[in-house]
Amino acid sequence: MKRIILIGFMGSGKSTLGKKIAKKMDLPFIDSDREIEKRHQKTIGDIFTENGESFFRTLETEYITSLKDKEEFVLATGGGMPCFGKNMELLNELGTTFYLDRSPKELANRLYNAKTRRPLIDGMEQEELVSFIEERLSARDEYYKTADVILDRDDQSVSVIEDLTNLLHPHLQKS
């Protein structure tokens, strides 16, 4: 079983890095937001507007639970997923969790220029975004930091994650 799970705040680069890891290690890539959208035939934005955030959080828990049957994958989670209910415990049980740690300023720059629409920060100006991130991150950090591995910016690379995965699961290396 090789299950690599990337967690971190919105804009930390989970999906971009996850896709690269999956390609290099020949594993399927999953983005939980996209899977939830597919399953429910609605965008995350519409789920938030029509059903509310807490409903979205139940869909996230449901989704993690459904992954127990899947042997191998690289999963990029939604930014808030680890911070609700027992999700972080479930993620740690499921596979090896990697926290992509980034500073609020850097996240704000990345999010300000991002094309993806995110309901929680829609329409925010850059300064407002920095304070929003600082506030949320200080509440979320205690969850994120229970990841198996915490990666600083310079270590957030395919090779570091591949090496760590092989080190943690040497018997599972693909030839």
Question: Which residues make up the interface to ligand S3P (CB under 6 A)?
Answer: 10, 33, 44, 78-80, 118-120
Q: How far apart are CA 139 and CA 101, in angstroms?
A: 14
Q: How far is the CB of 87 from ligand S3P (least distance, A)?
A: 11
Residue 98 phi/psi, 5° resolution?
-120, 125
Q: CB-wise, 10 or 151, nearer to ligand S3P?
A: 10
Q: CB-wise, 79 or 95, nearer to ligand S3P?
A: 79
Q: CB-wise, 70 or 118, nearer to ligand S3P?
A: 118
Q: CB-wise, 49 or 173, nearer to ligand S3P?
A: 49
Q: How far is the CB of 154 from ligand S3P (least distance, A)?
A: 21
Q: CB-wise, 10 or 27, nearer to ligand S3P?
A: 10
Residues 6+ apart with CB under 8 A from 46: none
Q: 């983005």: which residue's tokens?
A: 31
Q: How far is the CB of 111 from ligand S3P (least distance, A)?
A: 8
Q: How far apart are CA 75 and CA 175, in angstroms?
A: 22
Q: How far is the CB of 64 from ligand S3P (least distance, A)?
A: 13
Residue type, 73: F
Q: How far apart are CA 71 and CA 113, in angstroms?
A: 35
Q: How far apart are CA 75 and CA 12, in angstroms?
A: 14
Q: How far is the CB of 33 from ligand S3P (least distance, A)?
A: 5
Q: What is the DSSP letter of 42?
A: S
